[in-house]
Amino acid sequence: MYTGFVEPIVHTVTFVFLLLVYLCGALVKALEKFTPAIIKNSLGKYLYKLYVQILNLNINSKGEKSINRINLIGLAMRNMLFKRMRSLITIGGMAVGIGAIVFLVSLGYGLQELVISRVAKLNEIKQINIASNPGSKIDINDKSLADFKQITGVEQVFPVISVVGKVNFNESISDMVVYGVVFDYLDQSSIKTVKGKIFESNDVVISAENLSTLDVNTAEQSVPDAGRGTKDAITTDSDGWVYIASESDQAATVNTKIVVLPPIAKREAVVNRSMLRVLGIDENDAVGKRFTSSFVATGDLLPAGESKIESSGDEYLIVGVVPGDKTPIFYVPFIDLRSMGIVNYSQATIVANHDKDVADIRKKIEAMGYATSSVVDTIDQINSLFSTVRVMLGLLGTVALAVASLGMFNTLTVSLLERTREVGLMKTMGMKSNEVRELFLTESMTMGFFGGVIGILLGYIGGKLLGLILSVFSLTKGLGFLDITYIPSSFILLIIFLSLLVGIFTGIYPAKRATRISALDALRYE
């Protein structure tokens, strides 16, 4: 029944409260010898009044003239103190068992944190990447950007254009991947400049007069496109390599529009290390150098009617260098590529206000017909993996706890057998059966509680010690201190609850047996 389940939980929670009250009271009494009379009189009286009020609470005594729960705790504690060695060993066993669980599981949490922090910087958790679904006619354009901005929880929207760049440097021409991005996009991404800086342009919108103009020399050329198909697809694989896939269409006659970039184009580039290697430029000399590049935009990015637009070639100034050892990539201001007449964008990145909103925003965007991806997917996978890891670690630690529990069960049963006469006496003097049961349960729960608290400390210290030892190695490698364990507060509560549960389960049998002791056992014994 519902009530049957809630009552023991309330009983357990109030037990912890009363235990803490008792311990505070004992502490105050112990310190009484050291406090000067002044404090004793004022503070002491106040504390005593408070104590009496707590004693009269319903959770402590039920109003009838009967032994109250704090008294039972006191009796239990006195009995534990009486058999000091035995109690210490029993609690110690529990502490080791709990400590093992805490140590192992905190390791799981710590490693999870470590991995996630390597995978995703704080910013990336709030970012969503949007792309068109393959084969769909739904493009990302200015209107889409406006729509995205309307979604609740969206803080910023950055469009990205990716085209092919024909780079001319020192008489050699290479094809490279070019991304047209705004300053904010690079600034908030995990890509950080190692030399120089990012270009300052954040412009997205372009007015008609600022669009590229047709190159008077080569306007409206019909050029057979040798080896180049109508569709260039730029894809990134899971290792970070970027491919330019060309779909060859033999009999295609492509109408290529050659344009001249307008004056508002910034003509600044941020290049990656791989590109510098291809061009043969040393990283330290890179900033300030110039290269010539023309951009080729095809099909999907262009408005209807256009099949290919190529810029006539401009001199670009290298303003910054970013890491990247795989595909040669460089970043140019979004506005430069936009001014070519590109109306559809390759992808867009959204920054949400809060990582909690990410899932909802993604749903809405996917409903619009786009594909979304987010580092959250990876994190979810990692979390799920580590959940499993933690459970296994926990189970491992539980073996130690099981052994300790058996020890405690043994202690309690032996303790009971020794105290048969004592229990008989208490019953003769008027203690009820359920009060006797509560006494023994109190003892086991108290020992469980202490074992749990000490166990958490042990597990915590053990974990930090391990981190310290490993740090010795990592420091020599220049990687700084390693902290590989982490204990969330919810886990601490769980462990306290677990140790109380162990206390209950190990104590329930001796407690029940105690209720069956006849009061006459105290009187007969000769």
Partner 1 sequence: MKKNTKQDREDELTPAIEVDTLSKSFIVGTQEIPVLKNVSLKIEEGDFTVIFGPSGCGKSTLLHSILGLEEPTRGTLKFFGNDLYKGTTEDDRATFRKKTIGMVFQQSNWIKSLNVKENVAFPLTLIGVEDSVSQEQARGVLTQVGMVQWADYIPTELSFGQQQRVSLARALIHNPQVIIADEPTGNLDYEAGQQMMQLLFDLNKEFRKTVIMVTHDLEYLHFANHIVQVFDGEIIGTYRGKERDHLLKELTFKKGTLGK
Residues found near partner 1 in the complex (CB under 8 A)? 52, 55, 61, 64-68, 71, 74-75, 78-79, 81-83, 421-422, 424-434, 518-520, 522-523, 525-526
Between residues 352 and 522, which has the closer beta carbon with respect to partner 1? 522
Closest CA to 293 of 267, 274, 275: 267
Measuring CA to CA, how many Å separate 339 from each of 210, 211, 214?
A: 7, 5, 12
CB 64 to partner 1: min, Å: 8
Between residues 318 and 426, which has the closer beta carbon with respect to partner 1? 426
CB 512 to partner 1: min, Å: 15
CB 72 to partner 1: min, Å: 9
Instruction: Judge contact between 376 and 126, C-beta under 8 A.
Output: no
Between residues 68 and 162, which has the closer beta carbon with respect to partner 1? 68
Between residues 44 and 313, which has the closer beta carbon with respect to partner 1? 44
Q: Distance from CA of residue 117 to its chain's centroid?
A: 8
| Strand ranges in 305-431 using DSSP code E only, listed in sequence order | 308-311, 314-322, 329-333, 347-352, 370-373
- Half-sphere CA count of 273, side-chain side, radius 13 A: 12
Between residues 83 and 364, which has the closer beta carbon with respect to partner 1? 83
Which amino acid is located at 110 in the chain? G
Kindly state the tokens that stand for 256.
């290529």
Q: List the beta bridge partners of residue 194.
A: none
What's the rounded Cα separation, in Å, for the pair 119 and 281?
30
CB 63 to partner 1: min, Å: 9
Between residues 414 and 475, which has the closer beta carbon with respect to partner 1? 414
CB 22 to partner 1: min, Å: 11
CB 490 to partner 1: min, Å: 37
CB 432 to partner 1: min, Å: 5
Between residues 481 and 525, which has the closer beta carbon with respect to partner 1? 525
If one counts every other C-beta atom within 10 angstroms of the C-beta of residue 355, the result is: 16
Reduced to 3 states, what is the DSSP secondary structure of residue 459?
A: helix
If one counts every other C-beta atom within 10 angstroms of the C-beta of residue 20, the result is: 11
B/e letters for 177-202, b = 16+ CB within 10 Å, e = fewer, are: bbbbbbbbbbebbebebebbebbebe
Between residues 59 and 115, which has the closer beta carbon with respect to partner 1? 59
Measuring CA to CA, how many Å separate 287 from each of 131, 180, 283, 290, 337?
A: 32, 19, 8, 9, 22
Between residues 223 and 425, which has the closer beta carbon with respect to partner 1? 425
CB 429 to partner 1: min, Å: 6
CB 446 to partner 1: min, Å: 14
Kindly state the tokens that stand for 252.
């295609």
Instruction: Judge contact between 159 and 348, C-beta under 8 A.
Output: yes
CB 406 to partner 1: min, Å: 24
Between residues 171 and 526, which has the closer beta carbon with respect to partner 1? 526
DSSP 409-452: HHHHHHHHHHTHHHHHHHHHTT--HHHHHHHHHHHHHHHHHHHH
The backbone torsions φ and ψ at residue 298, rounded to the nearest 5 degrees and listed phi first, read -125, 165
Between residues 80 and 167, which has the closer beta carbon with respect to partner 1? 80
What's the rounded Cα separation, in Å, for the pair 293 and 316?
7
Kindly state the tokens that stand for 242.
């970027």
CB 425 to partner 1: min, Å: 4
